[in-house]
Structure 1
Amino acid sequence: MPNALSPWHLIILVLVVVVLFGAKRLPDAARSIGKSMKIFKAETKDMRSSSDGADGADGAVARDGASGPDARQLPQSGATAA
């Protein structure tokens, strides 16, 4: 038996999805998946560009002069311990 899906398999799969989720919910689900993919692509592109241009000669110094991702500081809170 071949591993490829025939057109009948695809039609049955689409019908099952429509029956399970309903025709009203499918456009919203597809729209949210599209937005998520767009955000994911933008973030991965940003990560690639920051890793290509921000590394120093040895790759350990970040743009702000910190020595790696663990060197970030937490913001100071208004209440200080005595």
Structure 2
Amino acid sequence: MNTTFLFIGGPEIFIILLIVVMLFGADKIPEIARGLGKGMRQIKDATNDIKKEINDSAKNQGIDTEFVRDINKEVNDVKDNIDDFTGPIKRKL
């Protein structure tokens, strides 16, 4: 079983972590991780605020946004059906 994250495997992640430790030192890694976490949280909050504003604006204009949920449900159903159909077959890039 080969675990990948964004097309990066375990050995590549290990090399990247080794380089980070060599560049910044072990004492700076928690600070860097904390900063990255805060940045990711701010981005998530900003995108949620934008989505909320768009939905509120659409509701105020009388635009129906329920079709998006229906489309997402259908797409997820198709994905599940494809996964059921292919079974254990996995494609390698």
TM-score between both structures, scaled by the size of structure 1: 0.54
Return the alpha-carbon distance in structure 1 between the equivalents of residues 37 and 61 of structure 2. 38
Determine what percentage of the aligned residue pairs are the same residue. 30
Q: 1:18 aligns with which of 18, 21, 24?
A: 21
Q: 1:57 aligns with which of 58, 61, 68?
A: 61
Computed over aligned residues only, the root mean square deviation of the Cα atoms, in angstroms, reads: 2.4
Counterparts of residues 20-35 of structure 1 (less than 5 Å):
20-35=23-38
Q: Residue 45 and residue 24 in structure 1: after superposition, are their counterparts in 2 closer, same or farther (change >3 A)?
A: same
Larger Rg over CA atoms: 1
Structure 1: gaps (5+ residues): 60-82
Return the alpha-carbon distance in structure 1 between the equivalents of residues 9 and 32 of structure 2. 25
RCO higher in 1 or 2 (8 Å CA, sep ≥ 6)? 1
Return the alpha-carbon distance in structure 1 between the equivalents of residues 43 and 15 of structure 2. 30
The Cα of 1:10 is off from its aligned counterpart by 3.2
